[in-house]
A and B are shown apart, each in its own frame.
Chain A
């Protein structure tokens, strides 16, 4: 049975909200560090969270094309992580 006044869309909206809360908690690690790699890892996980949030919003707002955005975002997120970690190794320094 589906509870009244609680449609599928709203369940996804709530889930997206929870993911946002978790993403904000993750910001703590991104800000505090202590090493560049810690921040990078946190930002990478944040990126994955963003992808999931986009996918959830695609259902919640019934905008399937959000998934295109999510796809591109996933690819960019990967490129960013590899590029930055390569950068920190090759230049031997911290950003």
Chain B
């Protein structure tokens, strides 16, 4: 019984992890500029990695190594926003212009249409 529960819990967590990483990958390929891609990159780092590592923790059960998954998640949570910020800031300083929607007029549709992914 417990084994069954654990199995399905692990599978569900893995499924969610894969789903959010999938969304993040789609976002990184679809979104028009570096700044918006950085948003979706943090999805992999938070829920994608979070759910997958939770699945790993469930699979290992109460063992010594389970602490590792918590540590891993902690590192990912502490370091990745810092890295994302460093990347965004370096983009800003090297003069990469963000694509902005001008107060909700039609430019955002246009922005998406001629986005950078079709190069």
Q: Do chains A and B touch in the complex (CB under 8 A)?
A: yes
Q: Tell me the B residues contacting A by CB distance below 8 Å.
A: 3-4, 6-7, 10-11, 14, 17-18, 21-22, 24-25, 28-29, 34, 37-38, 41, 44-45, 48-49, 52-53, 55-56, 59-60, 63, 65, 68-69, 71-72, 75-76, 79-80, 82-84, 86-91, 93-94, 96, 116, 119
B69 touches A67 (CB 8 A): yes
Which A residues are in CB contact (< 8 Å) with B119? 32, 34
Of all chain B residues, which has the CB nearest A70?
A: B72
Within 8 A of B (CB), among A13-45: 15, 18-19, 22, 25-26, 28-29, 32, 34-38, 40-42, 44-45
Report A46 CB to chain B, min CB distance, Å: 9
Q: Which of B37, B48, B79, B88 has the most CB of A within 10 A?
A: B79
Q: Provide the main secondary structure of the chain A interface.
A: helix
> Measured between alpha carbons, how far is A52 from B45 in the docked complex, in Å?
10
Report B71 CB to chain A, min CB distance, Å: 6
